[in-house]
Amino acid sequence: MTQELAASRETQQAGPPPEAGSHALRLEGLYPAERAQVSCEEGLMLYRDMVLGRRFEDKCAEMYYRGKMFGFVHLYNGQEAVSTGVIRAMRLQHDWFCSTYRDHVHALSCGVPAREVMSELFGKQTGCSKGRGGSMHLFSREHHLLGGYAFIGEGIPVALGAAFTSRYKRDALGQADSDAVTAAFFGDGTCNVGQFFECLNMAALWKLPIVFVVENNRWAIGMDHNRATSDPEIWRKASAFGMAGEEVDGMDVLAVRAAAQRAVARARAGEGPTVLECLTYRFRGHSLADPDELRAAAEKEFWAQRDPIKRLATDLTSQGLARPEELQSIDKDIDALVADCVEFALAAPEPDPSELTRFIWAED
């Protein structure tokens, strides 16, 4: 972003009401970056992935409140454009992905079967972590998902290790085809902890192929982002390390996809890491145990009107890439898929108590 464009924010007079929050003003002042151009097939793929994430999370809430699901459950509703926009701009089962405790939708976008994700949430043997991880610790080596992590910032060093491995295989071991890129997802609250800065420094020093994806939904549990950091524009912190930094409308999957494609291309070409700040919003409380009483009604309403799934549906139909009936058909297919994964998870076996310590130590 140029200095002139950045300065234009400061002099901006028009925009949403203050109750909508500072993110709203930033969205109005964003550089009008080129949105990704997609084919009919790509557009429907993005729509299907986002709808799956939304309907899956809605079903999780239903199961939780019915007493079928236990523990801490943090849902992703509203942020689907970030997961889909980034992960589906990368190479599945080639690139690597590292998540947070809000990891269900990341896993689905990575290609982890919905049956395995739901089974894990029910603590069943058929879960992607064999029933041992639960909501916050989804993992799938097959799908290059390096895990969800309960403590903020915990996954960033793991993602950094994956990026280092990719670079080491190419430069030290001579594997010319080692060009995997890693995406590390985390929230705005994480950007005030040490792992964030330490890993940015190392990534820049070694020009590692990693994209630091900041899912800035403005609220770190119940703390307003602007009250917790000296500079709320996180993407600017990249400049301190000499790396690329960009912010994007995280409620627009085509904008996120375009930004992710630029960041991934830089990483794969050996040009180093990127901090990609996605301005987004979660439609539910921090977790399903959160009464969500701290956020203003006007703020919630503003962001609800920017629903990323509705926006993509409008884009696809207005551009002639999809008919409303096609999107409705996808909705029905996803509903059936989610219903199936719940039935599967409920009927799946519990982990065998005799295997309590399995997967703790390496096996021969």
Query: What architecture (CATH level 2) is domain 35-348?
Result: 3-Layer(aba) Sandwich (3.40)
- Judge contact between 59 and 51, C-beta under 8 A: no
**DSSP alpha helices (H): ranges in the chain?**
3-10, 22-28, 40-65, 80-87, 104-110, 114-121, 156-171, 194-205, 253-268, 297-304, 308-318, 324-347
Q: In what order do the strands lie in the sheet with 244-249?
A: 96-98, 182-187, 210-216, 274-279, 244-249
Q: What is the pLDDT of residue 221?
A: 92
In tens, the pLDDT along 71-111 reads 899 999 999 999 999 999 999 999 999 999 999 999 999 99
Domain map (residue ranges) of the chain: 35-348
- Judge contact between 229 and 191, C-beta under 8 A: yes
Whether residue 168 is predicted with pLDDT greater than 70 in this model: the reply is: yes
Helix (H, G, I), strand (E, B) or coil at 98: strand
What percent of the chain shows pLDDT beyond 70? 91
Helix (H, G, I), strand (E, B) or coil at 309: helix
In tens, the pLDDT along 290-318 reads 999 999 999 999 999 999 999 999 999 99
Q: What are phi and psi of 214, to 5 degrees?
A: -90, 115
Whether residue 187 is predicted with pLDDT greater than 70 in this model: the reply is: yes
Contacts of 121 (CB under 8 A, 6+ apart): 60, 63, 69, 73, 104, 127, 134, 135, 345
Q: What is the mean pLDDT of the chain?
A: 92
Whether residue 22 is predicted with pLDDT greater than 90 in this model: the reply is: no
Q: What is the pLDDT of residue 358?
A: 86
Whether residue 122 is predicted with pLDDT greater than 50 in this model: the reply is: yes
Q: What is the pLDDT of residue 363?
A: 79
In tens, the pLDDT along 251-282 reads 999 999 999 999 999 999 999 999 999 999 99
The full 3-state SS of 249-269, as one line of letters, equals ECCCHHHHHHHHHHHHHHHHC
- CA–CA distance, 247 with 252 (Å, rounded to integer): 12
Pairing of β 219-220 and β 182-187: unpaired
- Judge contact between 83 and 53, C-beta under 8 A: yes
In tens, the pLDDT along 197-241 reads 999 999 999 999 999 999 999 999 999 998 988 889 999 999 999
State mean pLDDT over 177-206: 96
State mean pLDDT over 9-20: 47
Instruction: Give 248's strand partners.
Output: 278
DSSP 105-170: HHHHHHT--HHHHHHHHTT-TTSTTTTSS-TT---BTTTTB----SSTTTTHHHHHHHHHHHHHHH
In tens, the pLDDT along 58-78 reads 999 999 999 988 889 999 999
